[in-house]
Chains A and B, each alone.
Chain A
């Protein structure tokens, strides 16, 4: 099992709908969790960070963390074509400060 797993997609969502992106992680990853957005040919851009169980909302984005089930998700409400990108999940570790990365989920918002 990879330490941080994401479905590579592509995930296709109609414009205006809710996009749901999921990430599962192993025992080695237990600290902070981050969602990054990466457009093709660009570097990752931080969208959300979440450190404790529950939901965290920021505009159209909601991050959800469930430590018991070892998953973290990102919901994008009112999806726009400009949300089309690869979304990367990353988690921190207890043992050191290295972030562990998933391979990313490609999201396509169809007009």
Chain B
């Protein structure tokens, strides 16, 4: 597609539920990043994919968070047993390769009630 697409744009879920957030990167981009952003803060790194593999998952806060990119294109961020503290905007970005210009999707605003 022309840009990075994230779905859904908004997600409200109850505490304890499971959620999946989807990211469709720019065609041909091998690098894909997931970030989380809270109000007034810069993006907080979660995980970086190079192709199908997670090259760096050091930003995932705990084992409730997991992400996959099985075919090296679309990625899904999965959050189990959601907590109110998980509420944030989840941003996905892709770049042609690592350390180059990254382009962001519109984000998914997750609210855990």
Q: Which residues of A contact B (CB under 8 A)?
A: 31-32, 34, 42-46, 49, 88, 92-93, 96-99, 101-104
**Contact A43 B107, beta carbon cutoff 8 Å:** yes
Give the interface of B toward A (CB within 8 A).
Answer: 31, 33, 40-45, 48, 50, 55-56, 59, 89, 91, 97-107
In Å, the complex CA distance between A5 and B32 comes to 24
Known: A46-B103, A97-B48, A97-B98. A103 touches B41 (CB 8 A): yes
29 contacts across the A-B interface (CB closer than 8 A): A31-B99, A32-B100, A34-B101, A42-B106, A43-B104, A43-B105, A43-B107, A44-B43, A45-B104, A46-B101, A46-B102, A46-B103, A49-B100, A49-B101, A88-B42, A93-B99, A96-B48, A96-B55, A97-B31, A97-B55, A97-B56, A97-B97, A99-B45, A99-B102, A101-B44, A101-B45, A103-B41, A104-B41, A104-B42
Residues of A within 8 A of B98 (CB): 92, 96-97
A96 touches B101 (CB 8 A): no
Residue of chain B at shortest CB distance from A101: B42
Instruction: Collect the chain A residues with CB atoms within 8 Å of residue B48's CB.
Output: 96-98
Taking A98-B59, A99-B99 as given, write out 10 further A-B residue pairs in contact, using a Cβ cutoff of 8 Å, ordered by the A residue number: A44-B43, A45-B104, A46-B103, A88-B42, A88-B43, A96-B48, A97-B31, A97-B99, A99-B45, A101-B42
Contacts of A32 in B (CB 8 A): 99-100
Shortest Cβ distance from residue B5 to the other chain A in the assembled complex, whole angstroms = 12
CB contact under 8 A between A103 and B99, given known A43-B104, A98-B48: no
B45 in contact with A103 (CB, 8 Å)? no
Query: Which single residue of chain A is at the shortest CB-CB distance from B31?
Result: A97
Taking CB atoms, residues of chain A closer than 8 Å to B33 are: 98-99
CB distance from B10 to the nearest CB of A (A): 11
Contacts of A43 in B (CB 8 A): 89, 91, 104-107
A101 and B100 contact, CB distance less than 8 A: no
